[in-house]
Structure 1
Amino acid sequence: MTAPKKVVLAYSGGLDTSIILKWLQTEYGCEVVTFTADLGQGEELDPARKKAEMLGINPDSIFIEDLREEFVSDFVFPMFRANAVYEGLYLLGTSIARPLISKRLVEIAEETGADAVAHGATGKGNDQVRFELSVAALNPSLKVIAPWREWNLTSRTSLLAFAEQNQIPIAKDKRGEAPFSVDANLLHTSSEGKVLENPAEEAPDYVYARTVHPEDAPDQPEIIEVTFEKGDAVAINGKALSPATILTDLNEYGRKHGIGRLDFVENRFVGMKSRGIYETPGGTILLEAHRGIEQITLDSGAGHLKDSLMPRYAELIYNGFWFSPEREMLQALIDKSQEHVTGTVRLKLYKGSVRCIGRWSEHSLYSEAHVTFEDDAGAYDQKDAKGFITLNALRLRLLAARNRRLG
């Protein structure tokens, strides 16, 4: 690959991406622009600016942006309209953040005249795929540099030695083996590696950072109401809130009641299985609420079709195909289904669980007159069921007659 002249680096300010920053400068002799996204990871981002400046980055080439509202409104909410869950359990918290980071990497590269972007994902994980597929979809002329696949810094010892040689500050706890790695944003926290690598061993409780242990949650349940408009949450307990604020508040309810913990062995796109500990407190509540309002507002045919497509949609996000035409096609179908998904859901939160206990909407398809066990005043003629059953049974009768004749 021809050496790049200017690279936009997805930069966290941590040790690994600081080493990558210096490695790009020394390996390629190129100008580096840093981009740090605030996706609600809960960390102070100003130290990332100071560290980038200390490593020689021009202040005009340091981009630190609060993307929380865009993250929730344009990525998390569209995904939750689909009720997307990967392999039956995972709410895709890491997966859905990568297309937004990639989008801004490309935009900043175009704004600054950079000819390459770089990320800190390893060669064993899914994130390298997600970043690079997104960049390819948005601007295929940009080079992508993945240092973990290129350099010879193959151990923690060699990384620390490189850092010391280049005067990169090393936190004291980074001098030993980290117990596990963490990725966080407003939707979730993901922990992997080290003490979590044996799936037969229960994860230590200290791994969980966003939720109290369900056994330590309040002994009294809490009731909340979430209001939706066209499939998106717009209010909690009758108070209108922005998308990011809604997710932030739901996270607090989930934290308090120990909701959203997941110990999961998943199939990575690159072929291996990995064990992760996920915490998605607000997202778990949001999923239950969204399914609750769909129960009364979504037609059965539309709902069943949507559910049948959901695993494919979730897999596309997990595998990094957010910007693919097939994901956009599915999104159009999903969004069409949400035109009448408007109303309010009442939820009970208690010791790690969230349950829908009530739902109502002006767009409801639920007809008490049709389902009542009392007099339905002619709303439904039960005699009609006989012809319905007879026609649906016809092919079964023909099959049975054939099988008896032959055998």
Structure 2
Amino acid sequence: MEKVILAYSGGLDTTYCALYLSKVMQLEVHAVTVNTGGFSEEELAVLQQKAQQLGLASHKVIDVTEAYYDDCIRYLIYGNMLKNGTYPLSVSAERLVQAMSIAREALAADAAYIAHGSTGAGNDQVRFDGVFQAMAPRIKILTPIRDQQLSREAEIAFLREQGIDIDFAKAQYSINKGLWGTSVGGAETLTSNTYLPEEAWPTPLTESLPLELAITFGKGQPVALEGATFGHPALLIQALQAIAQPYGIGRDIHVGDTIIGIKGRVGFEAAAPMILIKAHQLLEKHTLTKWQIYWKDQLSTWYANWLHEGQLLDPVMRHIEKFLEDSQQTVSGTVKVLLEARHFTLLGIDSPHDLMSSRFGKYGEMNNGWSGEDVKGFTKIFGNQVAIFHQVNQTVHHD
């Protein structure tokens, strides 16, 4: 039997894929679950039980939580990246890292096929296909759900015919949880004029008492929370998420252009990503020059869009990542954040690289590095070309 490596989440679509590939196509199915920090130990145990029920050749879990941060998330922090100024690219980044892990497994197993459970209506099909084509071009891609255009009911009927009666009671909301946020999809996100109700959010709002936190960055990376270190930034993100998400912070709906050309909406809750991005951005305002910030913004916006469209493997992304990392050499210090119900406030920063140093003057009050005459001369020269333009073209009337 020929081998197929299946990207397996344990949901209805990938369960159907597993049985179809095994029973109908007569392939040796090896299911692989890529954990990007969204599965608990209990959830992984349930996933293992489901896979065993299917009688597959094998099932394994690959934990890439730390690699996900190292290879992707840290650049999203460096660039303060929010798609359309709103969305921290939670699923966009996660799918690419998962696809890369699956491709490596297929290559290592010398598999004839590689499979995923994406439908034909979303972004993920492009992300998975694109990565597989780039990393494993000689391995054929199988996509039973997309190719057969199956309804949920048809999938369940097939599984029952095969003796599998796993309860796939349709939840009202589709939830995808990872290290960099949780996406929420439902009836409200399929329209343009409704918002998700309170019960749709995976994490209930249970905290309301104000809480002040100190987040320390070292060269752009979060390294400590309230003075405590965690061994790896991914662990800090998880700790911050556990503290902040019960405040209902980081909830929103992203509206944007999909890769396939249609508009789409998706809800998300991402307390830790939103706090870290905004805290990091504030620290940069104090520690970088205006032109460093300007060019970072240009490249970061482009990088975020290209990543969202599944192009993380484009070599130009490595060039931008080098720029982003190099820009972080002085982005070190501590940011104070106040958490309150449904929002947070950045209180201030403390950094040895703070360019708002009183040694050089206090904005709006006094200066230590120049005189009034210096400013007069500077202003005359600085505005000279604009003044010449208006005088030559007589565009400004003089009394």
TM-score between both structures, scaled by the size of structure 2: 0.92
Aligned to 1:400: 390
2:357 paired with 1:367? yes
The alignment partner of 1:240 has SS state of: coil
Alpha-carbon distance in structure 2 between the residues aligned to 1:63 and 1:302? 44
Deviation at 1:195, TM superposition (A): 4.3
Aligned to 2:297: 307
Aligned to 1:45: 44
1:17-166 correspondence to structure 2 within 5 Å = 17-43=14-40, 44-58=43-57, 61-153=58-150, 155-166=151-162
Q: Structure 1, residues 87-123: CA drift from partner, whole Å, max 9, x if none?
A: 1111100011112111211111122111321111111
CA contact (8 A) 2:249 2:341 kept: yes
Q: Structure 1, residues 25-79: CA drift from partner, whole Å, max 9, x if none?
A: 2343211111112222245112222222222213xx3211222222223321222
Specify every segment of 5 or more residues in structure 1 that has no aligned partner in the other structure, as ranges.
none
Deviation at 1:338, TM superposition (A): 0.7
2:224 paired with 1:235? yes
Q: Which stretches of structure 1, 4 residues or longer, exceed 4 Å deviation after superposition?
A: 373-376
Alpha-carbon distance in structure 1 between the residues aligned to 2:140 and 2:317? 24
Cα RMSD of the aligned pairs, angstroms, is 2.1
Aligned to 1:173: 169
The alignment partner of 1:356 has SS state of: strand
Alpha-carbon distance in structure 1 between the residues aligned to 2:384 and 2:353? 36
Alpha-carbon distance in structure 2 between the residues aligned to 1:19 and 1:63? 18
CA contact (8 A) 1:116 1:143 kept: yes
CA contact (8 A) 1:211 1:279 kept: no
The alignment partner of 1:311 has SS state of: helix
Alpha-carbon distance in structure 1 between the residues aligned to 2:93 and 2:23? 32
The alignment partner of 1:385 has SS state of: helix
Aligned to 1:281: 271
1:225 to 209, 214, 217: 214
Aligned to 1:188: 181
Deviation at 1:203, TM superposition (A): 1.5
Q: 1:387 to 1:24 in 2, by over 3 A?
A: farther
TM-score between both structures, scaled by the size of structure 1: 0.90
Q: Structure 1, residues 163-186: CA drift from partner, whole Å, max 9, x if none?
A: 111122231624xxx423221112
Alpha-carbon distance in structure 2 between the residues aligned to 1:116 and 1:45? 25
Alpha-carbon distance in structure 2 between the residues aligned to 1:334 and 1:83? 10
Aligned to 1:387: 377
Specify every segment of 5 or more residues in structure 2 that has no aligned partner in the other structure, as ranges.
none
Identity of aligned residues (%): 30
Aligned to 1:10: 7
Aligned to 1:325: 315
Q: 1:41 to 1:375 in 2, by over 3 A?
A: closer
Alpha-carbon distance in structure 1 between the residues aligned to 2:84 and 2:142? 30
Alpha-carbon distance in structure 1 between the residues aligned to 2:395 and 2:191? 57
